[in-house]
Every structure is written in C-alpha cells, then in structure tokens.
Amino acid sequence: MKKKNLREASVRDLAVLLLLLWAFAQAMIMAFAPADSRVIYLVLILAMDVAVMIGFLGRSSLSWVLCGTLTCVWVCYKLYEYYMSGVLLALTDYVWVPVPLLGALAASLFLRGMKGMDTENTMLRRQVEELVLVDELTGLYNQRALYRDLRLMAGYAARNNLPISLMLVQMRYESELRGILPKRLYVELRQKMADTVRMTVRVEDRTYCIDEKGTLAVLLTTTEKDSVFVRNRLTAALRKDGAFDGILEPGVKLDLRFACKQYSAETFKGDMMGFKRSVESELVYDV
C-alpha cells in the first residue's frame, strides 16, 4: 500500500511538472511568435486550454482526441502554407506541435495519480457510514445500533432470565405533517419528539430513530404487559399542552401509533430483523 501511494504521488508530481512546462511553453510561444501570427496562436491556445481542461475534468480520452486534432490541423496547415506559398516556418511553429499533447499528457497523469486517492476516499467514506451508529438529525442511536443492541440484550436477558421488549412510536399522519410544515419546523418536530421520548423513558431504556419518517424505537427491559405504563407516560408527555408550541399551529395535533412486543428466543431464534418486523406489523392495529 505504501509503495502504491508513493507511486501515485510520484505520478501526480510528474503531472504538475508537465503542467508547469506546458504553461511555460505557451508563454514562450506568445512572447516569440511573429507579430502577424499572434492572433492565430491566441486562438489555438484558447482552444487547447479548453481541450486540456476537459481532460482535468475526467474526460481524458476526449482531451487526447481534441489535442491530437489541434496538432494535426496545425501541422497540415503549416505544410500547406509552406508548399503552396513558400512561407518559411518560424521556430514557434515547431515548438507548438508537441504543446497540446503535453497538456493532454499532464491531465492524464494527474487523473491517474488521483484515481487511487479517490478510491481510498470512497472506501473510507463507506466505512465511516457503516460504523456510524447515531442519527444525524435527532442525535439518537440509529437502526444499525438497534440491531446491534437487540443481539446483545437478547444474550444478556437469556443469561440473567430477564425480559426485553421493543416499543415503536410512529407519527400517525407523518406525510401530512411533512407537507403542512416548513422543512425547518418539520425537523424541529422530529427533534422535539425524539428529545421528549428520550427524557421520558428510564435511563436504562435506550431510544433509537430508525427511519426518515421519525419513527422511534425504545428497547425496554420489561415485559410486554408492563410496557403499558411506559406507553402511558410517553402519551402524556407527547400530548401535553404546549409540548410543541412554536412548531405545530393551533388546531394541529400530533397523533401517534404505539406497538410493543416482548422478545421470545423460542419464537424468533435470534432473528432480530424478524422481531422488529413483527412489532411493526402491530402498528396498524393501533387505531
């Protein structure tokens, strides 16, 4: 890996040197070009710069084609002018021939040197996303963390003969609220709802935000029967007068769905995704 990184860095350095040489060659051509040819050189340089810029933007093959075309057109034009009119070729006419190809080469080498870096950045970004366990909007644990903790808590509960239950809290008319509220207020609604649930449940009960619709999951160390008390506390806190002042307009009420189910090792046999889906299926019956 170190040798590969060193080789790519060397390629990038070479590309920068060629780019500097390419720019210097353009300056020298304009400085020493005959007075009657400077307009032609200026047009050619502008066209070449566009072609090389296309190469730096990732279209290396197109850049080579355009730069090669410029070189061929220039050589054909000067040869035609020489044989038909007897016009002698200036030194700048010779210097111009490799300049477009030099720019295309610099662009190609630079892209080649950056390819490994882009691949590493993509890999690192994917690894970071896979390791992130916190929902960015609410600050709660996300669905990945929920599955991890469900597996851990299932093993802990089995060893200590303790019950665990999963409760889901979902906005009943989430799509309508999303359409009614401005984006800023909708975000504040989800954040306020998440904070209220987190502050209402016990410290040992973890709260998660498991989707983009604001659905919350609470991992409880209690039986399904006793989870009714948790539901009552959450209902009272979320429907309390003034709970969402400044977010919901007067007359707009936050309706919620609740579902809870106790984990059974005999029924789910370690299938935490199936356990979660089983709890989700209960949401439709909360009318």
pLDDT tens digit string along 150-189? 999 988 888 888 899 999 999 988 888 888 888 999 999 9
Burial of 286 (0-12, 13-18, 19+ CB in 10 A): middle
Backbone torsions φ then ψ of 265, nearest 5 degrees: -65, -30
Distance CA 187, CA 146 (A): 22
Question: Residue 169, SS3?
Answer: strand
* Side chain identity at residue 70, one-letter code: L
Q: Let me know: does 167 contact 220? Beta carbons within 8 Å.
A: yes
pLDDT at 260 over 80: yes
The pLDDT-based confidence of 130 (bands split at 50, 70, 90) is low
The pLDDT mean for the chain works out to 84
* Predicted local confidence at residue 129, as pLDDT: 62
Question: Residue 141, SS3?
Answer: strand
- Residues 95-104 have pLDDT tens digits of 888 888 888 8
Name the one residue in this structure whose structure tokens are 């998440």.
Answer: 194
Distance CA 13, CA 114 (A): 11
Q: What is the 3-class SS of 25-55, one letter each residue?
A: HHHHHHHHCCHHHHHHHHHHHHHHHHHHHHH
Strands (DSSP E) along 111-173, which ranges? 165-171
What would the mean pLDDT of 257-278 be, rounded to a whole number?
90
What residue segments make up the domains of the chain, in order of their start? 2-131, 143-285
Q: Count CA atoms closer than 13 A to 1's CA, side-chain side.
A: 3
Question: Residue 239, SS3?
Answer: coil
For the domain made up of 143-285, the CATH class stated in words is alpha beta
What would the mean pLDDT of 40-67 be, rounded to a whole number?
86
> Where is 20: in which H helix or E strand?
helix 2-32
pTM of the model: 0.60
Would strands 165-171 and 216-220 be described as parallel, antiparallel, or unpaired? antiparallel
